[in-house]
Structure 1
Amino acid sequence: MNVSIRKSTLNDLPFLEKIEKSCFPEFQQSSRRSLRLSLQSPAQQVWIAEVKEKRKITPVGSLILNLYQHTLRIYSIGVLPEYQSEGIGLMLMAQVKHVAISKGFDKLSLEALSTNTKLIDWYQKAGFVITEELPNYYSDGIHAQRMILNLFDPKERNGITNIIVVDNPKKWKLEIEGLRVISSKSYLSENEFQSLKNGRIFNLSNSYRYQSIGYYVSLLASAREHRAIPNVTTIRDFRNVSIIRTIAQDIDDLLQKTLEKETQNQISFNIYFGQTIDKNYKVLGHNLYRLFETPLMHVQFNKTDRWVIQRVSPLSLDKINNEDFERIQHFAREYFSRKRFQRHRFNNYKYDLAILVNPEEKNPPSNPEALQMFKDAAKKTGFYTEFITKDDYDRLTEFDALFIRETTSVNNYTYHFSRTAYAEGLVVIDDPWSILRCSNKIFLEERMRQNKILTPQTMILTKDFIRKNGFDKLQYPMVLKQPDSAFSLGVTKVNNPDELAHSLNHLFKKSDLIIAQEFVPSEYDWRIGMLDQKPLFACKYFMAKDHWQICNWNGEQEDYFGEVETMLVEDVPEPIIKAATKAAALMGDGLYGVDLKMIDGKAYVIEVNDNPNVDAGLEDMVLKEKLYLKIMQSIYNRIEMSRNIARFVSVETDL
């Protein structure tokens, strides 16, 4: 049974009424008006569980959530009686936890009918505890039990130690829970800090010059596997204005817009813990801090025809005027009071893993059940794991590895996350070069051709080629692809010259080069999942109903996707495995999904995808939990390997 969970629409209102009547006593049922408000309220979320059987999609369960400041409340969770023994309730509960974690909630809450001991027992098995009885909660004489699930148990947590290192702690009057202020000499010499685990070091030494005490604070922090802010790489970057300007290219538009009304040709300001005294520079200052993560810094800009960064330099406390010092302490309190600096990790977790997700994505590469399986597997492997979103870009340096589980693109933030994480020394799947290579079909075609890997007959179309050769000599039908097409989007089938001309007129507006590929009809495509250049899983992706692709975005929602059949890798024809292995190796050693067709006993590669789908109930049908464990173990092994190489290689030539 294939089960999926999606966000609701107003079209689900009749089904929600059906759930209310079939699952709850009358005094607990929500009215049609109340359900409609839930569907439209920004303070609530409604999710629908669906079962796909024989190409038919049937809604079978629902989940309504209330979003409070710190608590995610389960307003209702229900499954049609005929499906209540299929584990769908557990999947909906996994979705609750996924929403809570991805949005940063501390705990879950709900109310359960006091006399429904079976339901209360089910919640208790899920980790909820009864915290209080609510007399007459539903009506006179009908009581409820309030139940709570704390997502983080303080008794089992071991805090990350946040430390400010200064030359003279007596000058720094800052008292914040969980934050220590020590001298640079103490950090360098005392056994406590030499053996400290899970340290985050904010280096405010008076000097960062080469081989100064401040320089060695950041250098030894890296050697001790503490998070150093600034790290040695950032300190060295300050010396080179070319590097500074290259790093700052991503915020050039913001820079020009912020300074466009300045009448002088030179301007400078200080940034204290990501904030500026002058509110006009607030957003620019925050973004500069994100790029050059340094607690206190000075930035200077010059203008000729446009504004450029002339200099970025760290500031020491002894160079800050007295008027600013109180503001700095205020900014520091705000900075360290943020939730991310109070984050805790569980005992016995060696590394921190971030899983990048997009809760709003309609067709993510992993469904909520799979994401929970990844988290569980990560825990068993030795990771403290957090689901992060695009809003957590400036938190990347808190982690040891990044695993991307939303659809990637060179032109959006997923690539920036990957590139930044890799530059900061994190292990990354999908790594930036895999995203670049797999996202462009022109690169893929050239790579396959040069390495003599069979693909359907392919040619690159340009406007000049069409002008010289016309449409009539080409073979039809053919498939046209945008170079950066993904997931069956940007892919068009044309049957004659007129259709080709019409499609190219549209496609050439987006790209100067278009892929034209021989149309090879088949009942299904092979999908071979590859990890570390070895086969991981194998599926047959059948074509969508009455369509020539596995996805039909123009069809009815229940017919978007074809069936999926998962099998043992050893049961796959040998030519398919050989071709998939060779094609994936040309992209890298990450996690890939290779699509192939078998024609007359020969394997033809259609494309190699980064960020392949791993959905619970589909790709994991054979390996089950082992699939998730294999991926997590690969990430863990990569970290272990990287830790055997000095992370400050770039400075060794100066020692």
Structure 2
Amino acid sequence: MTWVILTGRQNDLDQVATPHKIITNRDYLAHPALFRGQRPKVINLSNNYGYQSRGYYASLLAGSRGHKVIPTVETMIDLSERKLYEHALPELELALNKCRKDLGGAFPQKVCIFFGIGPSKIWDRFAKLLFDWFRAPALEVHIRDSAEWAAIRKIGFHPLIRMTDEEKNRFLQCLETYTNREWRDTKGRTPARYTFATLVDPHEELPPSEISSLRYWAKIAEKMGVEIEPITKKDLAKLANYDALFIRETTSISNHTYRFARRAQQEGMPVIDDPLSMIRCTNKVYLNELMTYNKVPVPPTVMIAGISDLELAAQTLGFPLVLKIPDSSFSRGVKKCETFEELKTLATEWLEDSDLLIAQKFIPTEYDWRVGVLGGQPLFAVHYLMAKKHWQIVNHKANGKPDQGGIKTFTLKEAPAHVVETAVRAARCIGDGLYGVDLKETRDGVFVIEVNDNPNLDHGWEDSGEKDEVWVRLTQWFLERLDRPGR
């Protein structure tokens, strides 16, 4: 990645203070061919961001040149008047008063936040939130403190020319932290054409991709002119600064993953998983209806809307049968019932939280086929083996620790053609993103169990059959959509 720092005057920042390219905003404006063929990230440190100033035009034209810039013109306008940012104050003041409580004693009348980093760790929560709202290199917050509440009087930019020596030293340290990306490797880098955000939760127990696998993808994508950057659920306000989004958390309509997908879609960014795929895949009632309508084979199924439907399920499916909550994932909310009494007890409990349940015929197999489908074409094929002494691929034990079965890998050519074809048909009913189709292969044929909108994809596992081609095709999926004419 190329970082470019714009200053108002030649001597505002010493060239040896940072390894990044430093030029004046005047030179940046006067030479539009600078950095042609690259997609630099621009940090605009102009001393004046006023409307139609050089600092204003530098950020405005950075957008037209395909350069990512902070602060954007939108941020400049937002901070030009209090009435334009007062909607952010309630949330910011809550975080500010948490700092006030932790600090104790006297509270400062002004605090400077550089790249979302405060003067000490106590300020972290407030500093990160401020940077989420107003993505600017240097901000100063003026505070009115009273006996019970600290209120924000004003938020404004803090230019280099007004920084004390101590502030400038801290600013340079924060600049180094901000530009030091977690997955960056400076050796032999191809200048990045695009930067993809990858939404992760470092603490998730069963993530769709391990961090190590995403680092592996980053190395492959780098050779294709793409930089991969990790983001977390705190970074929603930063999303527009990226070109595409790949969600690598377990998705849910009711949490932040859906909000990220919606925001990416609103920004016109290619996104996996897209909101519609989430809606379709996370509900097994919808999936069953969709597959049946499109003549994709699924296990015999009975919808349960109340206790009165249990007799029909028992007569139609026999025992054992499988009962599912519509939005279950990773084998959670999926139970096998051996008797009618077990079915009635479990259904009664689950119907308190869900108006509909699904009962399906139990189809015992030693493994499930998982076929990855990307853009309507097969991507990988594996066997997910059942967990030890269990009928599912994940056994969620009473102690809270999940026990997963193993994996057997195949090339797409080795996988049975009718299994791959059925998986592709199922995925195409959903959309053209990335899907993991689970199927059972039996003497009576192949049955689609479910379609996952954020399937597992890990190096050394799902990519074992097709090798690096899996990651290359994933990168190409995004690039094809970014490079479409007229986009």
Please give the TM-score of this superposition, normalised by the length of structure 2. Answer: 0.73
Shift of 1:285: 3.3
1:202 corresponds in structure 2 to: 43
1:564 corresponds in structure 2 to: 408
Shift of 1:609: 0.7
1:231 equivalent among 51, 72, 75: 72
Shift of 1:461: 4.5
Q: Does 1:288 align with 2:127?
A: no
Higher mean displacement: 409-418 or 343-352: 409-418
1:614 corresponds in structure 2 to: 457
Shift of 1:531: 0.4
| 1:296–1:554 Cα change, 3 Å | closer
* Structure number with larger C-alpha Rg: 1
> Pairwise mapping of residues 187-266 of structure 1 onto structure 2 (< 5 A)?
187-190=28-31, 193=34, 195=36, 197-205=38-46, 213-232=54-73, 234-235=75-76, 254=95
Kindly indicate whether the alpha-carbon contact (under 8 Å) linking 2:244 and 2:271 is maintained by their aligned counterparts in 1.
yes
> Pairwise mapping of residues 462-481 of structure 1 onto structure 2 (< 5 A)?
465-466=306-307, 469=308, 471-475=310-314, 476-477=318-319, 478-481=321-324
Q: Does 1:163 align with 2:5?
A: yes
2:85 & 2:373 partners in 1: Cα distance?
A: 38
Instruction: Give aligned pairs, total.
Output: 466
1:422-471 CA-to-partner distances (Å, cap 9, x unmatched) read 66666443445544543343443454466565533445545xx33xx274
> Pairwise mapping of residues 613-652 of structure 1 onto structure 2 (< 5 A)?
613-616=456-459, 618-641=461-484, 644-645=485-486
Q: Per chain length, whose mean CA-contact separation is higher, i.e. which structure has more relative contact order (CA < 8 Å, sep 6+)?
A: 2
2:226 & 2:17 partners in 1: Cα distance?
A: 28
1:335 corresponds in structure 2 to: 174
1:605 & 1:240 partners in 2: Cα distance?
A: 57
> Pairwise mapping of residues 70-469 of structure 1 onto structure 2 (< 5 A)?
160-166=2-8, 168=9, 176-179=17-20, 182-190=23-31, 193=34, 195=36, 197-205=38-46, 213-232=54-73, 234-235=75-76, 254=95, 272-273=113-114, 274-275=116-117, 283-297=125-139, 315=157, 317=159, 328-338=167-177, 340-341=179-180, 345=186, 346-351=188-193, 352-353=195-196, 363-366=206-209, 374-385=217-228, 388=230, 390=232, 393=235, 400-405=243-248, 407-409=250-252, 427-445=270-288, 447-448=290-291, 453-458=296-301, 461=304, 465-466=306-307, 469=308
- Structure 1, gaps ≥5 residues long: 1-158, 262-267, 647-655
2:358 corresponds in structure 1 to: 516
Kindly indicate whether the alpha-carbon contact (under 8 Å) linking 1:566 and 1:622 is maintained by their aligned counterparts in 2.
yes
1:377 & 1:489 partners in 2: Cα distance?
A: 34
2:411 & 2:118 partners in 1: Cα distance?
A: 58
2:313 & 2:53 partners in 1: Cα distance?
A: 69
1:143-202 CA-to-partner distances (Å, cap 9, x unmatched) read xxxxxxxxxxxxxxxx73330343x55566896222555443222113574648453322
1:538 corresponds in structure 2 to: 381
1:536 & 1:502 partners in 2: Cα distance?
A: 41
1:275 & 1:372 partners in 2: Cα distance?
A: 25
2:368 corresponds in structure 1 to: 525
Q: Does 1:482 align with 2:325?
A: yes
1:341-400 CA-to-partner distances (Å, cap 9, x unmatched) read 4866433343445656666655444568855653453344344556x4749948867764
1:589 & 1:530 partners in 2: Cα distance?
A: 9
1:503 & 1:587 partners in 2: Cα distance?
A: 30
1:26-70 CA-to-partner distances (Å, cap 9, x unmatched) read xxxxxxxxxxxxxxxxxxxxxxxxxxxxxxxxxxxxxxxxxxxxx
| 1:558–1:170 Cα change, 3 Å | closer
SS of the residue 1:517 aligns to: strand
Shift of 1:243: 9.9
1:607 & 1:241 partners in 2: Cα distance?
A: 51
2:197 & 2:121 partners in 1: Cα distance?
A: 32
1:290 alignment partner AA: D
2:63 & 2:212 partners in 1: Cα distance?
A: 36
1:375 & 1:272 partners in 2: Cα distance?
A: 30
Q: Which has the higher strand share?
A: 1
Shift of 1:293: 0.7
- Structure 2, gaps ≥5 residues long: 103-108
Shift of 1:592: 0.8
SS of the residue 2:483 aligns to: helix
Q: Does 1:550 align with 2:383?
A: no
Shift of 1:410: 5.1
| 1:300–1:600 Cα change, 3 Å | farther
1:569 & 1:251 partners in 2: Cα distance?
A: 56
| 1:278–1:550 Cα change, 3 Å | closer
SS of the residue 2:370 aligns to: strand
1:15 corresponds in structure 2 to: none
2:131 alignment partner AA: Y
Shift of 1:587: 3.2
2:409 & 2:37 partners in 1: Cα distance?
A: 50
Please give the TM-score of this superposition, normalised by the length of structure 1. Answer: 0.57
Kindly indicate whether the alpha-carbon contact (under 8 Å) linking 1:194 and 1:224 is maintained by their aligned counterparts in 2.
no
1:597 & 1:431 partners in 2: Cα distance?
A: 26
Kindly indicate whether the alpha-carbon contact (under 8 Å) linking 1:456 and 1:606 is maintained by their aligned counterparts in 2.
yes
1:435 & 1:457 partners in 2: Cα distance?
A: 24
Kindly indicate whether the alpha-carbon contact (under 8 Å) linking 1:418 and 1:430 is maintained by their aligned counterparts in 2.
yes
Identity %: 33
| 1:241–1:625 Cα change, 3 Å | same
SS of the residue 1:486 aligns to: coil
Kindly indicate whether the alpha-carbon contact (under 8 Å) linking 1:545 and 1:562 is maintained by their aligned counterparts in 2.
no
Shift of 1:485: 1.8
SS of the residue 2:449 aligns to: strand
| 1:625–1:451 Cα change, 3 Å | same
